Structure 1
Amino acid sequence: MRNFTLYLAVAVCLVASKLSAQETFEAKAHAIADKIENITKDEKAALKIELEAVNKELEAGTITKAQADEKKMKLAETHSRNIETRVAEAQVDLKELIRQKVEGKIKDAKEQMTMRFNWNRNDSVKKNRGEARTTSQFVFAAGVNNLITDKAVAHSDYRYWGSHFYEWGFTSNTRLFKNDNLLHLKYGFSVMYNNLRPTGNRLFVANGDQTNLETSAVNLHDSRFRSVYVTAPIHLEFDFTKAKTNAEGKTLFRTHESVRFGIGGYAGFRVKSKQILKFSEDGHDVTIKEKGGFNTEDFIYGVSTYLGYGETSLYVKYDLNPLFKDNAIKQNNISLGIRFDLN
Structure 2
Amino acid sequence: MKLSMYVITIVMWVLAVSYGQAQETEVKGKIELLEAVKEKVVTEEKEALKVEVENINAMMENGAVTSAEAENRKQLAAEKRALNIENRLAIIDNKIALLERNGEELAEEDEDRVVLQIGTGDDDKSLIYIGNGNRKPKYDKRTTSDFVLAVGFNNVLVDGELGDDVYKLGGSRFAEIGWAWKTRVFKETNWLRVKYGFSFQFNGLKPKNNMVFVDDDGMTLLEEYPIDLEKSKFRMDNLVIPVHFEIGPSKKIEKDDYFRYSTHNQIKLGLGGFAGVNLGARQKLKYEVDGQDIKEKQKGNFNTNTFVYGLSAYLGWRDTAVYVKYDLSPIFENNSVEQRNISLGLRFDMD
- SS of the residue corresponding to residue 169 of structure 2 reads coil
**Which segments of structure 1 move beyond 6 Å, counting only runs of 4 or more?**
128-131
Map of 2:220 onto structure 1:
211
* Residue 4 (structure 1) aligned with residue 119 (structure 2): yes
Q: Separation in 2 of the partners of 1:138 and 1:207?
A: 41
Q: Partner letter of residue 4 of structure 1?
A: G
Preserved CA contact (<8 Å) 2:212 2:224: yes
Q: Partner letter of residue 321 of structure 1?
A: S
- SS of the residue corresponding to residue 198 of structure 1 reads coil
Q: Separation in 2 of the partners of 1:299 and 1:5?
A: 35
Taking a change above 3 Å as real, the CA distance of residues 207 and 136 of structure 1, as seen in their structure-2 partners, is: same
Q: Separation in 2 of the partners of 1:275 and 1:233?
A: 26
Q: Separation in 1 of the partners of 2:120 and 2:272?
A: 29
Map of 1:264 onto structure 2:
272
Alpha-carbon displacement from aligned partner over 1:72-125 (angstroms, at most 9, x marks no partner): xxxxxxxxxxxxxxxxxxxxxxxxxxxxxxxxxxxxxxxxxxxxxxxxxxxxxx
* Residue 231 (structure 1) aligned with residue 240 (structure 2): yes
Map of 1:138 onto structure 2:
147
Q: Separation in 2 of the partners of 1:219 and 1:313?
A: 39
Taking a change above 3 Å as real, the CA distance of residues 242 and 211 of structure 1, as seen in their structure-2 partners, is: same
Q: What runs of 5+ residues in structure 1 fail to find an aligned partner?
A: 7-26, 31-127
* Residue 335 (structure 1) aligned with residue 350 (structure 2): no
More contact order relative to length (CA 8 Å, sep ≥ 6): 1
Preserved CA contact (<8 Å) 1:183 1:239: yes
Map of 1:197 onto structure 2:
206
- SS of the residue corresponding to residue 185 of structure 2 reads strand
State the TM-score, normalized to the length of structure 2.
Answer: 0.60
Residue 257 of structure 1: how far off its partner (Å):
2.4
Preserved CA contact (<8 Å) 1:147 1:156: no
Picking from 140, 156, 171, the partner of 1:162 is 171
Picking from 307, 318, 323, the partner of 1:310 is 318
How much is the aligned-residue C-alpha RMSD, in angstroms? Answer: 2.3
Residue 202 of structure 1: how far off its partner (Å):
0.7
Residue 242 of structure 1: how far off its partner (Å):
2.8
Preserved CA contact (<8 Å) 1:192 1:231: yes
Map of 2:252 onto structure 1:
243
Q: Partner letter of residue 271 of structure 1?
A: L
Preserved CA contact (<8 Å) 1:243 1:252: yes
Map of 1:95 onto structure 2:
none
Q: Partner letter of residue 201 of structure 2?
A: M
State the TM-score, normalized to the length of structure 1.
Answer: 0.61
- SS of the residue corresponding to residue 322 of structure 1 reads coil
Q: Partner letter of residue 322 of structure 2?
A: L
Map of 2:158 onto structure 1:
149
Rg comparison, structure with higher value: 2
Q: Separation in 1 of the partners of 2:164 and 2:323?
A: 23
| Aligned residue-pair number | 222
Q: Separation in 2 of the partners of 1:143 and 1:304?
A: 14
Preserved CA contact (<8 Å) 2:211 2:223: yes
Taking a change above 3 Å as real, the CA distance of residues 239 and 131 of structure 1, as seen in their structure-2 partners, is: farther
- SS of the residue corresponding to residue 181 of structure 1 reads coil
Map of 2:285 onto structure 1:
277
Residue 245 of structure 1: how far off its partner (Å):
4.7
Q: Separation in 2 of the partners of 1:137 and 1:250?
A: 21
Q: Partner letter of residue 176 of structure 1?
A: V
Residue 312 of structure 1: how far off its partner (Å):
0.5
Q: Separation in 1 of the partners of 2:118 and 2:145?
A: 7
Residue 254 of structure 1: how far off its partner (Å):
1.3
Residue 198 of structure 1: how far off its partner (Å):
0.2
Q: Separation in 1 of the partners of 2:281 and 2:163?
A: 25
Q: Separation in 1 of the partners of 2:119 and 2:254?
A: 20
